[in-house]
Amino acid sequence: MEELFSSSTFKSISDDYGKSVKVLNDAGQRVTDEQKLAAWRLLMNTKRTEHQHYTRLCEQWSKGQRDSREDELREIRQQRRSQIEDRLIELGWGPELRERLRQENGSDDFWNHKLIRQSKLLTDRLWDQITPTVFELLQPVRDRRLRVEQINVLKPRYEALKRCYDIYIFQQENLKKSGFPPFGDVIESHIGYDIIFNTPYEQLLSEDAFHEELKKLPDFIDDWNKRKTQELVEIVQKDIPEATVDTLGLVKTVFCCQSCNALLWYPAVFQHRCRTHLHTHASNLDIYHGFNPYDQLDTVPWNKHSTRILFSKTLSISLSLIMQTCGLDPDTALLEDLDSLDDVILECKNCYHNGRRTFMRWSRAYFGQSHVPTPVKPSEQLQQKLLDSEKSKGGHMIYTCDHCPDTPMGKQRRNYGDLCSHLLQEHGKERVTRKDWSHGPSFNLFEKAPSHIVLEWPEDDANDTPQI
Ligand SMILES: [Zn+2]
Ligand SMILES: [Zn+2]
Ligand SMILES: [Zn+2]
């Protein structure tokens, strides 16, 4: 602790006290004179007040000196900041400065950098010294800004091209039968590429801009269909060497996506867009200047990367067997012929137990391969029973209305309940039949096959139908 008085100061006060206050009494002793003491106290108090006052003045002066120096330094730093700001803005870094400030949210890391926050005005020489660091600090902000700007410009251009493509496909009835390339293949074909990348970013692009480019579509699609159909034939030929294009059209020619296990048929197999695809279409991204149109548009070229379309020999054989059981000739049956099996009800005799019988549709028999299905001649009650149980479990969004017109974006998918109320409200259909709806495009037969139903059912109802 600091001493309040030095020992010499204490001695002089103590001497003064002895001289001014003490007097000799009659007995020759030094005693305190009360009057003198009061006077001495008064004097001391006055001195102390004066002293305190003087000390305060000294302190105020000193603080004033300090404050004005600090103000001065702050002023210099502020000027330096303005100098740096001016030079950066002149060099085109204005957006990065604003962005940097916005990101730092007031923390000001940039302006507090030790090379920037200095109480020294900028000279050309000092500026040359700090520029490499300043640019290094701002470059990541610039990169990020340019990436966002690029996406904001290029993505809508690709989306416009996609809308044009969807409308074109929608207008070509024949393509629904032959199949057509997914948009990922259109991107890969570079149709529209020059317009998308060579139009200045600040220029707004309308769909009309693609008018000339779209004229390339018919030849591109034609060529693509030929190549991919040949690719499919070759996939089948690995198991069936004599397979031809005609083989692709048979319903027994079942394809399977190795990634998501979806069962697919030609030509809808061309539209399979694997939901499990990872965003890995990274080859040749250089030509897109770092922009990834596949990720941004959520599309990939057909049968590339994580998606792998295979021909499934096992599923083809078992589907042929089911078709034979239900009276269809697998060597001639086409996909639409499967619809005729919708009313067929099969029973598995192996599962019969104590009057309880197991009924199912062909699709369940197909996937539940442990069953031994036999077609039965169902009564109306049994048909209704199956329909009711399927209705109550029909939560999947796999139905589209056959009475609504198609649109370039495709039809709305509904679950069975929604479908029924839609048919009643919009089309006045009180009774829903198989002619009122279709399965939506991404319908996955494997997952959505109605399950079998176990019923205590009279033996004299629903007997075997004769095999054809
Ligand atoms: Zn898939
Ligand atoms: Zn069974
Ligand atoms: Zn409708």
Q: What is the pLDDT of residue 80?
A: 93
Question: Which ligand is nearest to the Cα of residue 260, counting in written order?
Answer: 1
Residue 327 lies in a domain: no
Residue 7 lies in a domain: no
How many domains would you assign to the chain? 3
Binned at pLDDT 50, 70 and 90, residue 26 comes out as: confident
Same domain membership, residue 404 and residue 285: no
Same domain membership, residue 287 and residue 214: yes
Same domain membership, residue 158 and residue 279: yes
Same domain membership, residue 396 and residue 275: no
Residue type, 277: H
Separation of 402 CA from ligand 3 center, angstroms?
A: 6
Same domain membership, residue 286 and residue 200: yes
Residue 302 lies in a domain: yes
Separation of 351 CA from ligand 2 center, angstroms?
A: 4
Separation of 362 CA from ligand 2 center, angstroms?
A: 13
Same domain membership, residue 296 and residue 154: yes
Question: Which ligand is nearest to the Cα of residue 346, counting in written order?
Answer: 2
Structure tokens at 348: 């598995």
Residue 136 lies in a domain: no
Residue 322 lies in a domain: no
Which range of residues forms the domain containing residue 174?
A: 144-311
Question: Which ligand is nearest to the Cα of residue 438, counting in written order?
Answer: 3
Same domain membership, residue 200 and residue 57: no
Asked if 307 contacts 277 with a C-beta cutoff of 8 angstroms, the reply is yes
Same domain membership, residue 59 and residue 173: no
Pairwise CA distance, residues 200 & 194, whole Å: 11
Neighbouring residues of the ion ligand 1, judged by CB less than 5 Å: 257, 259-260, 262, 274
Separation of 327 CA from ligand 2 center, angstroms?
A: 20
Question: Which ligand is nearest to the Cα of residue 371, counting in written order?
Answer: 2
Query: Half-sphere exposure (CA, 13 Å, Cβ side) for 96?
Result: 22
Q: Interhelix angle for 124-171 vs 94-104, to 10°?
A: 90
Separation of 359 CA from ligand 2 center, angstroms?
A: 9
Same domain membership, residue 152 and residue 279: yes
The vertex-417 CA angle with 416 and 419, nearest 5°, equals 65
Structure tokens at 130: 């700090």
Q: Report which of residues 264 and 446 the model is more confident about.
A: 264
Residue 4 lies in a domain: no
Separation of 169 CA from ligand 3 center, angstroms?
A: 22
Q: What is the pLDDT of residue 366?
A: 82
Same domain membership, residue 270 and residue 362: no
Its pTM stands at 0.70
Q: Supply the Cα-derived Rg of the chain in whole angstroms.
A: 45
Residue 318 lies in a domain: no
Which residue's entry shows tokens 């002066």?
Answer: 61
Question: Which ligand is nearest to the Cα of residue 414, counting in written order?
Answer: 3
Asked if 87 contacts 75 with a C-beta cutoff of 8 angstroms, the reply is no
| CB neighbourhood size of 137 (10 A) | 16
pLDDT in tens, 72-109: 999 999 999 999 999 999 999 988 888 877 776 656 78
Pairwise CA distance, residues 410 & 31, whole Å: 118
Residue 321 lies in a domain: no
Same domain membership, residue 212 and residue 117: no
Same domain membership, residue 436 and residue 291: no
Q: E strand or H helix at 133, and its extent?
A: helix 124-171
pLDDT in tens, 224-257: 999 999 999 999 999 999 999 999 999 999 998 8
Separation of 371 CA from ligand 2 center, angstroms?
A: 3
